[in-house]
Amino acid sequence: MTEAGFERRIEPFRTELLAYCYRMLGSAHDAEDLVQDTYLRAWRAREQYDETRGSVRTWLYRIATNVCLTALHGRGGRPLPSGLVAAADPLAPFARAEHATWLQPVPDSLLHNADPAGTVIDRSSLRLAFASALQHLSARQRGALILREVLGFSAAETAEILGATVTSVNSALQRARTRLKEIGAEPERITEPSMAEQRAWVERYMTAFARADVEALKLLLTEDVVMEMPPMLNWFSGRGNYGLFMEWVFEAAGKDWVLEPVTANGGQPGFAAYQRVDGHYALHTLQIFTVTDEGISRNSVFQDPEIFATFGLPVRHGG
């Protein structure tokens, strides 16, 4: 195969490999770097690829998996605060975890490339809630679960990709399923309205937010709604607590905001919030929402320059 032919053959898998590395690492920035490393390694090893032994897709996943497992060696998971500490009072002082590494959202702009390989990226397995749950698994359990249940590889293919036996893969998969069941995060339990309906809920939220109308915000929330704000440890649950916190936000940060819609993690709606500061609008937070048929059930609020950069958000808004 010519060098150009090899490049054309492997390029269609870039987007799905990015989604895979994101699920494994919980960071869009790390996933981009690891996909680049995967393609560099594949290019260097192109003469070693033997199509009689397996598909080029399986071969690429084996390289990507090795890259991910190396990157994860010695690291803990990337949780969200709700998976790490107990809920707090919504008006408690902010507490920052100095050495925690948090789960990051992935912008949909990185996942919208054309897919000539014919594979469909499973949106539910990219959702923040599921991505967060994956962080409670060991690296190999994570790999086994994603490869078998999300990507549909056979047990034999998964064993080849992980460099393991079928028996060990099945064991890791069973432990992963058990752990996800313990925390209530099995993939098949993730249901949601259409993307248009989710966007409509969040657009109504944005309208109420722009008016600083806390009562209108509360009407859009489920009774057990959760708000969390990494890098802060603080998180809380309940419509009443949410309302108390938002009253404090508008009192402390003002009521003059500009909101720009975004989507992340395979279609989750959200917005970038710009706060009026000294005559201009400064980037304040990125907020990503989980929406159910009953309303908004979670708001994951990020205030991290690396995440802002990944989403291409300007630090000032022209409005």
* CATH T-level assignment (fold) for domain 3-112+120-189: Butyryl-CoA Dehydrogenase, subunit A; domain 3 (1.20.140)
Give the C-alpha separation, 227 to 90, whole Å.
9
Residue 141 one-letter amino acid: Q
User: What is the model's pLDDT at position 281?
Assistant: 96
User: What is the model's pLDDT at position 8?
Assistant: 87
pLDDT, averaged across the chain: 91
Give the C-alpha separation, 4 to 124, whole Å.
35
Q: Where are the domains of the chain?
A: 3-112+120-189, 195-317
Give the C-alpha separation, 102 to 132, whole Å.
9
pTM for the whole structure? 0.91
Query: What's the mean pLDDT in 117-123?
Result: 61
Give the C-alpha separation, 46 to 41, whole Å.
8
133 is written with which tokens? 């749950």
Q: Is the model more confident about 119 or about 173?
A: 173
Residue 21 one-letter amino acid: C
Write out the E strands in the chain.
Answer: 221-228, 235-237, 257-264, 268-277, 280-292, 295-302, 316-317
Give the C-alpha separation, 310 to 286, whole Å.
11
Query: What's the mean pLDDT in 41-48?
Result: 90
Contact 272, 313 (CB under 8 A): yes
Number of H helices and number of E strands within the chain? 12, 7
- Assess whether pLDDT exceeds 90 at residue 38: yes
Peptide bond into 231 cis (omega under 30): yes
Using one digit for the tens of pLDDT, what is the confidence trace for 170-223? Answer: 999 999 999 998 887 765 555 689 999 999 999 999 999 999 999 999 999 999
- Assess whether pLDDT exceeds 70 at residue 240: yes
User: What is the model's pLDDT at position 53?
Assistant: 79
User: What is the model's pLDDT at position 155?
Assistant: 96
pLDDT band at 7 (very low <50, low <70, confident <90, very high): confident
Using one digit for the tens of pLDDT, what is the confidence trace for 268-304? Answer: 999 999 999 988 999 999 999 999 999 999 999 999 9
Q: What is the largest CA-CA distance in the chain?
A: 66
CATH class of this structure's domain 195-317: alpha beta
User: What is the model's pLDDT at position 186?
Assistant: 63
- Assess whether pLDDT exceeds 70 at residue 139: yes
Neighbour-count burial of 148, counting CB atoms closer than 10 A to its CB (0-12 exposed, 13-18 middle, 19+ buried): buried
Query: What's the mean pLDDT in 128-152?
Result: 94
Among 155, 125, 140, which Cα is nearest to 68's? 140
Contact 196, 291 (CB under 8 A): no
Give the C-alpha separation, 179 to 236, whole Å.
23
